[in-house]
Each structure stands twice: as structure tokens, then as C-alpha cells.
């Protein structure tokens, strides 16, 4: 069994260390109040058994908590007092160099928490280590100097989660909807170099990847671009190819029919589109931004955005090529095609592509094939989105999220025109709904009282995020604020006007609705008798956002938090504060946002239909999923799910597996097993457990992860049931 030390490194559990620690406290008191050696041994064995029952690697702090409780359970209160005093004294000494220890453990690659913090970061790489080191300094500054003590305490206790403290010291935000159209059509500046309107599709794709990298290095969350903004350059290349081909024929004296001429032009154009799309795919997966990972980029594919029929047909060509290349995958270092994490793809289901007789149904069939093998694209229903995303004029709109799920709210500019590209999210603070429920003890009146207190904490924390951005000058990130990605402000101009009036959003996240409802009602929120309470909790948070928006003229929006590593943190904090409550906090994770619990047996269609009502109450972002087996030989079922998504839910995805063992060539599912109290990944064919010698891709919480997960998230992945 492994133990996680305070600096994040792992060591083998050693019962003698517990015996020695208790013995020291025991020897420091009067002899008549001391424990016997046998009692000390029993206490240590009880703690060891408690650690084994956790089914994960315990932290040192958790072990010490258990030691205290066991000593007191034996009635040895004087011994307990000495043990607690010694522990407190050691903690005071330790505080002075905690940041130093963490940074050193990062450099030596022995910090297990850092290794599993982000499923798309490799902590052995220098650039990732540099980012994590800077992050530790930022966290230290944030907790000591920048945030109010009550917010820091609530964050540390898992009452709320103040996201991205490792970037808070800088004046940065998290998510963007990049205005690629403006930057390509009107030019931009990258690293002081003027980039003019491109003269070919392939050049436009190359510029797009440079923009993606620059944007990723100036914020810390997801960003999205639309393929529609690249579509006009297909015609630019077509005309260029036609002119060049015509010159070739004149020089050679060859004569071709107009039909054959056009056919060859289109073939050459397809080659250029293929090269351009390949540029985006390979640049994105091979670029390392300043935060040490590939850019967290989402690519949006929506035929309905095209301005005319010619552009729509050209957009369809780009979408087709994008899907074909993602289906193929990218080669790993052994030359085997595997599933890349990015770019994340979103395909809009619309009347032009959803029915077998629709003109672009072939793209939908290709999407189904790609999803079955590579887990993307994910799907947005134009039909449902137009119903849910309605602006002040009563018009519905369909647009992409920023990254994996963060959605902007509808916005109409001063000219009465809807605007989405060029907008952003200021940041996120998440409320732990399970904590609210457990703190109430099941008393409904106390629940709403505690809920109000917790929401006010989130309100204060969100205003800290907002105030941190206020006064930021456009010079801080010229690519964002001066050169078109988000705005075209003057040099030295504050970004403040973009923080108010709904231009940008700020998100109240939430987690653990399932456990919250189950504790308060005794039933899953899928039970018809408990669903109304679940919906009332969602509405309560929306009402709070509405009140704050009216107070500050800032667009607060409710957001279904992905909880990548925080799911584990929240679970541990709940266990520490409330003990083990069966069925509520007895696992190493809590449930993402409004989702049905991963172990609950439910079919795909029932799950999507049920969760759709919660998406409507999560305007700042949400995504639903269905867990499926290998569907490559059952594409008709995938298409049925996609049709159901179109009719019933705004945004959803299908989760499958896509793995490869580099030791034996196994390309089936890499399984999760328990070994020495720790969950590990293992090849079922050759038994390989070296994560560096296998490629595993899993949908973590809206996007694909490829660098492994902490023990809580790994347990959640292991326990997922299939919905088809």
C-alpha cells in the first residue's frame, strides 16, 4: 500500500512509523496514563485497516487524523493531547518551506499529485515542470496575500473550489471564443510581426495554428475556433489554382474541356485542403505552449454559419477532411495510429445533415464512424440550442462552447447584432453541493440556510476574480486585446469595458448534485419523487446568479464544473469533515455537475432525456455523455443516438475506449486493476503496467485525456457502466 506525503511524493506504508509516533507521545506523559505496547500496536493496526478500506493511497494527514481518533477511542486523552500538540508544532515548522518542498519534488518527478493533476500534461517534461513550479509560487502568493482568508479556508476545506489558483497571481482569464474571422480577414500581429490576410487556404490554416498557440499562452483555459472562418479561403485557393493551371496549359499547349479543367482544379484544391487540415491537426498536437501542454483547442463544424451556398460547400469539404484525418488518428513514436486529445471537435446536428435524405448526411455518417473510433466529434443540436440560447430580441442562436463546455450567454451588441466570437469567460468558482447537504444534517431548513452562506462565499470569490482582471491593460496580452482575438483596443487601454454588460461571463460552478439530492431525500435525483428537489437546487443557483448580475452588471452564469482532479479533492475533504457516509462520500470521487451517477444502470436514451432538463438550467456550460462499448461495427446505433441528441438535448458526446500497448501491440481496452491499495492501468494481454509504454485515451469530463488521472478520477472511470 502506498502513502502520499505532503510534498506529493509516494512511499510504501510503514506501520512502524505510526507505532513510533504514538510511542513518543505516550512516553511524554505520566506513567499511569500511558497506553500499553499492545494497545499501541492495536491502534496502529486499526489505522492500517482503515487505510486499506479506503481503496486508494491515503495522504499523511488522513493517516494522522485516524491515529488521533483511535487514540481517543482507547480513552487515552492525555496521549492524544500530546500527539496533537506535536503534530501542530511540526506543522508550524513545515509551513515555512512547504512551497520549496513541493517545487523540489516537481523537479525530481516524485510528486504524484502533480503527475495526476492534468490528464494532458506530462510532468517529466521541463516546460510542464516550469509551469507547475510557477503555479506553486502563484498558489503561495494567492493564499497568503491575494485572497481573503475566508475564501482560502473554504477552498482548502473543499467547501468551494477557487479554480486555477496557479494562474491567479497574473491578470489572466480562462476561456475564449476566438474571433478568427476578424484576424484572418483584417490581419493581425503575432510577436510584433504583421500578418496580413492570407492568399491561400493552407496559409490561412498555418496562421490559424499560430494564433491558437499565442492565445493558449495568454490564458489558461479552453479556446474555440470555427472552421467557417477558414472556408472563404478555399475559394481564394481555388481561384489561385485555376490561374496557375491555366498558365501551365498555355505553356504546354495542352487543351482540355472545361469539365476536365474544373475536375483537375478541384483535385488539386482537395490536396491543398488536406494539407491545410493536416497542418492544424499536427501543429496542435505537437505544439507546447507556455503552460507545458498542447493548446486546449476546440474546432467547431457548423454548416449553418456559412454566408452563402458556395461557402457552405467549401465548408463541407473542410469538415469532411477534418473528420477523415481525425478518424485516421496520429502516429505515436512507434508509428502506430492512436487517438490524440486535441483538437476537440464539435459537429452541429442540423436539418441539412440529420436525415438520410439531407444533402450533407454523408458528413453525419462520417462523424458517426469517427466517434466510434476516436470519441470525437461531440454533438450540438442546432434545434435544441436555438430553443435555449435566446437573446433579448427573442432570437435563438447556435454557437460553440469555449473549450470543453463553457458557454457564453446570448449577447446583442450596440448595433443590435448578435456577437459571440471575440468574447470570453473571466473565471470559475465551484460550490460543493455535497458539503451543503452534509452540513445541514439532512434538515431542509438548515440546508437552504447553509446554501445561502456557501453561495455568498462563491459570490465574494467570484468578485475577487473579477477585481483581479479590472484595470488590466491591453498590453498584457496584445494578441487577445489589441490584435483581434478578443478585441482591438488601443495600447495602454484597460480591458474593463469588456468585463461588464454581458460581453464576458463569469461562472458559478457546481458539483455533486446526485450526492446532494440522495443525502437530502434518500433517493437518486433520477427518482421522480426526488427530481423536483434537484431542479429546485439548480434554480436556486440560477436565481443567485440573476441577483448578482443585477447588482454588478456582470454576466454571472451557472456552469456544470468538469471537476478533473477536484473530484478527488472534494471527496477527501468530505471524508475528513464528515467521516464516511455510505452512498454519499464513500468513494474517491463525487459526481460531475448534474450527471447521473456513473454506477447507475440506465440506457443511453433515458440518460440523455433526463439530463436535458438540467442542461437548460446550466446556461454557463454543461455537457452530457453516454458510455458505450466498441461501436465500430454498429454505426447504425451511433446514428440513432445522434438523432436522439438532435431532438432532445443541446450538447452531448459518446464515450468509448481507444488504447494501445507499446510492449505487445494490444489495441483493445487497457484495464484498471488494484495493486497494493492503488489503482493501476494494466495491459490484459502482456501485463504491462508501465504508463510510459502504453497509450490510453479516456473522456475525462468533456474532453479526452491521455496522461492519466488521480486515484479518485481513476476509480470513477473504472466504475462507469455502459449505457448501450
Task: Indicate which residues carry an active-site annotation.
Answer: 174-175, 402, 404, 406, 425, 559, 564, 702
Burial tier of 108 (Cβ tally within 10 Å: 0-12, 13-18, 19+): exposed
| Beta-carbon-side half-sphere exposure of residue 548 (alpha carbons within 13 Å) | 28
Find cell 473554504 and name the residue: 154
Determine contact, residues 673/52, Cβ cutoff 8 Å.
no
Alpha-carbon gap, residue 451 to 433, rounded angstroms: 8
Structural element, H or E, at residue 91: helix 77-95
Alpha-carbon gap, residue 395 to 411, rounded angstroms: 11
Structural element, H or E, at residue 225: strand 223-226
| Beta-carbon-side half-sphere exposure of residue 625 (alpha carbons within 13 Å) | 28
Find cell 446526485 and name the residue: 514
Distances (CA, A) of 27 to 15, 44, 73, 82: 18, 16, 19, 10
Of 221, 222, 219, 140, nearest in space to 172 by CA: 219
Determine contact, residues 28/82, Cβ cutoff 8 Å.
yes
Alpha-carbon gap, residue 215 to 223, rounded angstroms: 8
Determine contact, residues 375/623, Cβ cutoff 8 Å.
no
Q: Return the sign of the alpha-carbon dihedral for residues 466, 470, 474, 475.
A: negative
Residue 557 has which C-alpha cell?
452564469
Structural element, H or E, at residue 571: helix 566-578
Alpha-carbon gap, residue 233 to 181, rounded angstroms: 11
Q: What is the DSSP annotation of 368-436?
A: HHHHHHH---EEEEHHHHHHH-B-TTS-B-----BTTTB-PPP-B-TTS-B--TTEEEEEEEEEEHHHH
State the pairing for strand pair 297-301/330-331. unpaired
Alpha-carbon gap, residue 133 to 616, rounded angstroms: 39
- Residues whose CB falls within 8 Å of the CB of residue 638, separated by 6 or more in sequence, listed in order: 368, 371, 372, 628, 631, 654
Alpha-carbon gap, residue 323 to 371, rounded angstroms: 9
The counts of H helices and E strands in the chain are: 24, 22
Amino acid at each position: 500500500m502506498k502513502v502520499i506525503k505532503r510534498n506529493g511524493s509516494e512511499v510504501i506504508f510503514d506501520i512502524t512509523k505510526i507505532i513510533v509516533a504514538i510511542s513518543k507521545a505516550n512516553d511524554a506523559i505520566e506513567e499511569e496514563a500511558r497506553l500499553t505496547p499492545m494497545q499501541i500496536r492495536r491502534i496502529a493496526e486499526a489505522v492500517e485497516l482503515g487505510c486499506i478500506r479506503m481503496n486508494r493511497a491515503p495522504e499523511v494527514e488522513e493517516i494522522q487524523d485516524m491515529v488521533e481518533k483511535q487514540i481517543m477511542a482507547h480513552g487515552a486523552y492525555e496521549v492524544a493531547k500530546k500527539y496533537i500538540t506535536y503534530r501542530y508544532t511540526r506543522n508550524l515548522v513545515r509551513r515555512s518551506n512547504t512551497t520549496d518542498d513541493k517545487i523540489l519534488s516537481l523537479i525530481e518527478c516524485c510528486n504524484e499529485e502533480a503527475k495526476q493533476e492534468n490528464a494532458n500534461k506530462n510532468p517529466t517534461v521541463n516546460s510542464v515542470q516550469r509551469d507547475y513550479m510557477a503555479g506553486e509560487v502563484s498558489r503561495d502568493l494567492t493564499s497568503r496575500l491575494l485572497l481573503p482568508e475566508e475564501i482560502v479556508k473554504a477552498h482548502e476545506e473543499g467547501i468551494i473550489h477557487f479554480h486555477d489558483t496557479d494562474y491567479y497571481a497574473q491578470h489572466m482569464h480562462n476561456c475564449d471564443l476566438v474571433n478568427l474571422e476578424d484576424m484572418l480577414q483584417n490581419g493581425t500581429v503575432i510577436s510584433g510581426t504583421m500578418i496580413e490576410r492570407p492568399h491561400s487556404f493552407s496559409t490561412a490554416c498555418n496562421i490559424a495554428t499560430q494564433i491558437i498557440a499565442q492565445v493558449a499562452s495568454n490564458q489558461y483555459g479552453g479556446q474555440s475556433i470555427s472552421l467557417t472562418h477558414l472556408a472563404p479561403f478555399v475559394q481564394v485557393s481555388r481561384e489561385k489554382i485555376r490561374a496557375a493551371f491555366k498558365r501551365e496549359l498555355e505553356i504546354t499547349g495542352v487543351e482540355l474541356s472545361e469539365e476536365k479543367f474544373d475536375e483537375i482544379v478541384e483535385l488539386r484544391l482537395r490536396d491543398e485542403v488536406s494539407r491545410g487540415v493536416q497542418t492544424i491537426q499536427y501543429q496542435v498536437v505537437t505544439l507546447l505552449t507556455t503552460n507545458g501542454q498542447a493548446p486546449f483547442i476546440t474546432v467547431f463544424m457548423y454548416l449553418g454559419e456559412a454566408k452563402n451556398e458556395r461557402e457552405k460547400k467549401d465548408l463541407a469539404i473542410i469538415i469532411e477532411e477534418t473528420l477523415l484525418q481525425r478518424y485516421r488518428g496520429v502516429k505515436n513514436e512507434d508509428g502506430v495510429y492512436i487517438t490524440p486529445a486535441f483538437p476537440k471537435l464539435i459537429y452541429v446536428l442540423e436539418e441539412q445533415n440529420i436525415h438520410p435524405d439531407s444533402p450533407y448526411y454523408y458528413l453525419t455518417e462520417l462523424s458517426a464512424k469517427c466517434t466510434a473510433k476516436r470519441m470525437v466529434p461531440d454533438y450540438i443540436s442546432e434545434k435544441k440550442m436555438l430553443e435555449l440560447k435566446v437573446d433579448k430580441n427573442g432570437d435563438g442562436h447556435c454557437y460553440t462552447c469555449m473549450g470543453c463546455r463553457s458557454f457564453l450567454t446570448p449577447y446583442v451588441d450596440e448595433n443590435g447584432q448578435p456577437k459571440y466570437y471575440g468574447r470570453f469567460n473571466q473565471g470559475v468558482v465551484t460550490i460543493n453541493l455535497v458539503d451543503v447537504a452534509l452540513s445541514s444534517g439532512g434538515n431542509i431548513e438548515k440546508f437552504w440556510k447553509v446554501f445561502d452562506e456557501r453561495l455568498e462565499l462563491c459570490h465574494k470569490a467570484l468578485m475577487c476574480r473579477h477585481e483581479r482582471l479590472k484595470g488590466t491593460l491591453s498590453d498584457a496580452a496584445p494578441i487577445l486585446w489589441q490584435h483581434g482575438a478578443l478585441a482591438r483596443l488601443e495600447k495602454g487601454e484597460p480591458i474593463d469595458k469588456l468585463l461588464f454588460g454581458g460581453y464576458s461571463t463569469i461562472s458559478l460552478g457546481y458539483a455533486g448534485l446526485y450526492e446532494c439530492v440522495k443525502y437530502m431525500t434518500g433517493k437518486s435525483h433520477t427518482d421522480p419523487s426526488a427530481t423536483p428537489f434537484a431542479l429546485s437546487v439548480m434554480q436556486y443557483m440560477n436565481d443567485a446568479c440573476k441577483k448578482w448580475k443585477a447588482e454588478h452588471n456582470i454576466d454571472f452564469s451557472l456552469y456544470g464544473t468538469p471537476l478533473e482532479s477536484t473530484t478527488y479533492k472534494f471527496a477527501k475533504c468530505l471524508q475528513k469533515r464528515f467521516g464516511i457516509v455510505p452512498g454519499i462520500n464513500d468513494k474517491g470521487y463525487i459526481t460531475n455537475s448534474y450527471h447521473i451517477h456513473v454506477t447507475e444502470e440506465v440506457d443511453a436514451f433515458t440518460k440523455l432525456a433526463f439530463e436535458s432538463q438540467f442542461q437548460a438550467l446550466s446556461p454557463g456550460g454543461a455537457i452530457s455523455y453516454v458510455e458505450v462499448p466498441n461501436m465500430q461495427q454498429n454505426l447504425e446505433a451511433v446514428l440513432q443516438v445522434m438523432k436522439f441528441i438532435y431532438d432532445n438535448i443541446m450538447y452531448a458526446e459518446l464515450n468509448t475506449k481507444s488504447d494501445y500497448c507499446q510492449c505487445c501491440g494490444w489495441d483493445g481496452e487497457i484495464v484498471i486493476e488494484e495493486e497494493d491499495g492503488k489503482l493501476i492501468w494494466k495491459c490484459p494481454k502482456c501485463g504491462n503496467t508501465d504508463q510510459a509504454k502504453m497509450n490510453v485515451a479516456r473522456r475525462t469530463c468533456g474532453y479526452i485525456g491521455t496522461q492519466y488521472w488521480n486515484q479518485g478520477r481513476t476509480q470513477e472511470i473504472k466504475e462507469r457502466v455502459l449505457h448501450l
